[in-house]
A and B are shown apart, each in its own frame.
Chain A
Amino acid sequence: MADSLPTEFDVIIIGTGLPESILAAACARSGQRVLHVDSRSYYGGNWASFTFSGLLSWLKECEQDSEAGDKSTAAWQNLIQDTEEAIALRGKDDTIRHVEVFCYASEDTGDSAEEIDALQKNPSLVASSTLTKPLDAACLSEETHSDSTSPEMPAKDTPQHDGEILPEVTDREETEVKEKDCGEKTCIHTVSDGAKDENKPVVEDNAGQPKRNRITYSQIVKEGRRFNIDLVSKLLYSQGSLIDLLIKSNVSRYAEFKNVTRILAFREGKVEQVPCSRADVFNSKELTMVEKRMLMKFLTFCLDYEQHPGEYQDFTQRPFSEYLKTQKLTPNLQHFILHSIAMTEPSCLTVDGLKATKHFLQCLGRYGNTPFLFPLYGQGEIPQCFCRMCAVFGGIYCLRHRVQCLVVDKESGRCEAVIDHFGQRISAKYFIVEDSYLSEDTCAGVQYEQISRAVLITDQSVLKADSDQQITMLTVPPAEPGARAVRVAELCSSTMTCMKDTYLVHLTCSSASTAREDLEPVVQELFTPYAETEIDEGDPPKPRLLWALYFNMRDSSGVSRSSYHGLPSNVYVCSGPDCGLGNEHAVKLAETLFQQIFPGEDFCPPPPNPEDIIFDGDDKQPEAPGTNTLIVAKLESSEGSQNLDSPGQHLQN
C-alpha cells in the first residue's frame, strides 16, 4: 500500500488523538490535502478505548515499549540531501508508566485447566510476561469464539450460579500479595483464590438478601467485546466547546450520547447524592427545608453573580472555600458546592469558583438533569468521529504507519518532508506532531505533569438506586490539605462500555505519586475486593471489585511550544490528554493551531449539502488503494435539498 500513497500533501498529521483529529478535520474541511497517520493499529493514541482483550494487548505493548530502548536507526541517510538534516521521531512510546493490574475475580472450576494453572503457579507477584501470555491465549480463543457468533446483540444474561458448587473463597490474608518495587515495569498481581480450589458449597446468606451473582474472570474475558475501556476519563459539558463543535460541524451525527444521571459527593465516609437541579433540591430527602432555601438562594445568585459584585468583592483574593463559609451555607452545602458543583482545586479563588458554579448551572437542563453527557461506546469514539469528517473531505488515513524522521532544509530551517518506516519520503507544507512522537532530544527541556488513572470493573453501583442503569459522576475531595481531589466516573452497561451486571469505574487525579498510591485509598473506601468472603461488609454492603488497572499517563497539556528543542517553524505540536473533566483544552488547542497555520479560515464550518460536493458520476474512480473517496452517485435527478440524513422522508412513490 505504501508505494501507492501520494508523496505530496499540504498537511501531515502524526497521531490520532483528539486535538490532532479535530485539526485534521478542520484542515481537510478547508480544502487542504491531509495525510493523517498513527504508528498504532488503532485510532486515538492515548485517547483511545479498548475491548477487554484490546486493553490487555495495550498493556503488553506498554510493557514492551518500556523495556526496549529507543533505538534510532539512521535508515534515512541516503534519503535526504546534503542540504537537509533529519530530526528523528520516537520509536517507542514513553507516556505510560507504573502500570499495575489486580485481578480479584475468581475462575470457574469448569474452565480450561490452563487458565487456572497459570493463576495457581503464580499466586504472588509475577513478572508480567509470564502471566500475560496464558491469559492472552485464553482471551484470544474466547474472543474469536464470540466473534464468530451473530452480530452485536444485547449482552446475554450472565449465567445464574444458584446452587452451583463453587470454590471456597479464601481469606484475604492468605492471598495477600507480596509487593516489590515495580519501578517502571508492568506488574500484574493475582489476588484470587486460584491457589486453593476446594469444592465447597457456598455459605448461603440467610438474611433475606438476594445472593449476588458471581462474575468470573473468564466471563469477563468471554464478554470482552462488551467492554470499551477509555484511557482518558472525561465528560462533555452540555454547554461546552466540544458539544458546540460537534453540532456546528455536524460531526455529532457520528456519535450518540447519554445523560450523566447523577452527581454524587463523598462526605464523612458516605456516598450521597448532590441535588443540582431545582427539582432535585425540592425533592431531596437529605436536606432540611432551611438548607433547601439556602442552597436555592445561593445558586440563584451564582447564575448571574457578575451583576452583584458587592456580594463577593471582599473575597476576590481569597479562596472560594473561605468565601463559602461566609455565605449562610451549612457545612454539607459548602461541601456540595465546592467539591461536586464547582469542582475546583482547593486553592481556587472566589471568582473562579463562582464562574465554575455558574457554568455548571447553565449546563443543567439542556439535555438532562445534570450538566454532562457521555458518549455511547466511550470517549474513544470522539477522535474517530473527527477522523471520519477528515476522511469525508479527502483526508487519507494510515494506521500502523510510523514516521522515522522529519526532513529539514538547513538553509530555511523549515521542514520539507517526513520519511516513513517504509523509507518513503512524503512532503508537505505543514506538520503536526503529537507530543509522544517527539524524541528525547527534542523534549529534553520539557517538564511534564502526570495523570493518575485507575480503571475498575465492579459488580454493583456505589449508590444503589431504583434503576441500576446510572451514569454517575462522583468527586472525592482531597484526603488532606495539599492532596488531590479524585474524580470518579461510574458507567453502567447501557453506555456500551461494560458487560451486563457490571460497572466500569474510572478514577482520575493529577499525579502526586504512582497511580496506585494516589488512587488505591479511594478505591478501598468505595469498594471491597471480590476475593473476600461472602459475608457482605457494611450496611449497605460495598460493591465488589473484580478487576483493577492503575497507570500513570503523561500530561503534556501544559507544555509551551518553546520548551521543545529545535522544532522548525512549520512543525506544530499537539499535546496528549489533559487532566480536566471536559474537553475544552483539546478543542481550544486545535482551534488555536488551525488559526496559526491558516489565519482567517473558517474552523470546521458545517458541511454543505451533499449535493454540492459531488464528483460527477462519469468520472473514473481513482485506482489507487488507500484513498478515501467520496462519491455521490445520482440515481435519479433530485429536487430540493435532500440528503440521506432522514431517508424515511424520501419514500415517494
Chain B
Amino acid sequence: MFNLLLYFFLGQERFGNMTRVYYKEAVGAFVVFDISRGSTFEAVLKWKSDLDSKVHLPSGGPIAAVLLANKCDQKKEGSQIPAQMDQFCKEHGFTGWFETSAKDNINIEEAARFLVENILMNQQSFPNEDNDGDRIRLHEKALPAESKSQCC
C-alpha cells in the first residue's frame, strides 16, 4: 500500500545533532544503539532530544520513535540490554523498543511494522497538516493563473 523511505545517518554526526533540514518531513524515527558498545546507548537520549527539538507532527507532538538495541547477534559477555527498557522508553517518549540484528535479520521487519503502525495512528489522529496560514510550501503551490494583487 505504501513505501517507507528510510534515511540512515550512521556515525556521521558524531556530536549528536542533525540539521533541522535533514529531519524535515520525517514522520517516524528509529534510534539505534549497539549493545556491544555502551557509549552508543548514552547517546540515545541526546539523539531523541535533538530529534524532538527539530521535528514534530503537525499537531505539535513528537514523531513516533522506536528504539533499537542492535547487534543482538553478538550477545556475549559484556554486552547487555540495559535493565528496565520498558520503563526507559516510557520515560523518554519512545513508542517501543526491539532487540534487533540487522546482520541476521532479527526483528527488523517487526520493528518496521511497529513503527509504521504508530506512524499511521498519528496520521489518523491528525489527518490534516496544519497550516499556520501564511507558510508557503513551493511544491504544493500550483502556478497561479490569476492574482488580483498583480500589477497590471
Contact = CB atoms under 8 A, between A and B. Distances in A.
Nearest to B22: A388
A10 to B, nearest CB: 19
Given A148-B49, A651-B123, A1 B137 contact: no
Interface in B109-140: 112-113, 116, 119-120, 123-124, 127-129, 132, 134-139
Interface string B60-100: 10100000000000000000000000000000000000000
Contacts of B21: 254-255, 381, 384-385, 387-388
Contacts of A147: 49, 53
Contact of A253 (B7, B60, B137): B137
Interface stretch (A129-137, A276-284, A403-411): A276-284
B139 A152 contact: no
A366 interface: yes
Given A152-B56, A635-B112, A651-B124, A625 B49 contact: no
Nearest to A252: B138
A364 B150 contact: yes
B139 A611 contact: no
Query: Is the contact region of chain A dominated by helix, strand, or loop, or is it mixed?
Result: mixed
B25 A253 contact: yes
Contacts of A397: 12
Contacts of A41: 15
A651 B127 CA distance: 10
B3 A634 contact: yes
A252 B151 contact: no
Contacts of A624: 10
Q: Report the interface size class on chain B.
A: 35 or more
A635 B113 contact: yes
Nearest to B14: A1
A369 interface: yes
A486 B13 CA distance: 39
Contacts of A201: none
Contacts of A276: 151
A456 B97 CA distance: 46
A255 B141 contact: no
B3 A153 contact: no
Nearest to B9: A628
A642 B2 contact: yes
Contacts of B2: 635-636, 638, 642, 644, 647, 650
A259 interface: yes
Contacts of B132: 494
Interface stretch (A109-117, A243-251, A317-325, A514-522): A243-251
A199 to B, nearest CB: 37
A491 interface: no
Contacts of B14: 1
Interface in B25-84: 25, 27, 49, 52-54, 56, 60, 62
Given A253-B137, A632-B3, A398 B12 contact: yes
Most buried by A among B6, B8, B20, B151: B151
A554 B151 CA distance: 37
A521 to B, nearest CB: 33
B11 A626 contact: yes
Contacts of B119: 647
A365 B150 contact: yes
Interface in A381-415: 381, 384-385, 387-388, 391-392, 396-399
B138 A648 contact: no
A165 interface: no
Contacts of A255: 21, 24
Contacts of A1: 11-12, 14
A252 B139 contact: yes
Nearest to B108: A633
A517 B149 CA distance: 39
Given A277-B151, A636-B1, A647-B123, A626 B22 contact: no
Contacts of B150: 277-278, 364-365
Interface string A430-446: 00000000000000000
Contacts of B19: 43, 384
Given A299-B151, A647-B27, A635 B10 contact: no
Contacts of B149: 277-280, 364-365, 368-369
A598 to B, nearest CB: 25
A632 B6 contact: yes
Given A152-B56, A628-B7, A638-B3, A377 B152 contact: no
A385 B116 CA distance: 26
B53 A610 contact: no
Contacts of B7: 391-392, 628, 630
A152 B136 contact: no
Contacts of A388: 21-22, 24
Interface of B: 1-15, 19-22, 24-25, 27, 49, 52-54, 56, 60, 62, 102-103, 112-113, 116, 119-120, 123-124, 127-129, 132, 134-139, 141, 143-144, 147-152
Given A151-B52, A627-B8, A631-B6, 16 more contacts: A1-B12, A41-B15, A152-B53, A255-B21, A278-B150, A299-B152, A365-B149, A365-B151, A373-B136, A384-B20, A384-B21, A392-B7, A625-B10, A625-B12, A628-B12, A648-B128
Q: 5 closest Cβ contacts across the A-B interface?
A: A625-B11, A365-B150, A365-B147, A151-B52, A252-B138
23 contacts: A153-B60, A252-B138, A255-B21, A257-B136, A278-B152, A280-B149, A300-B152, A384-B19, A397-B12, A611-B3, A625-B12, A628-B12, A631-B6, A633-B4, A633-B6, A635-B113, A638-B1, A638-B3, A644-B2, A644-B25, A647-B119, A651-B124, A651-B127
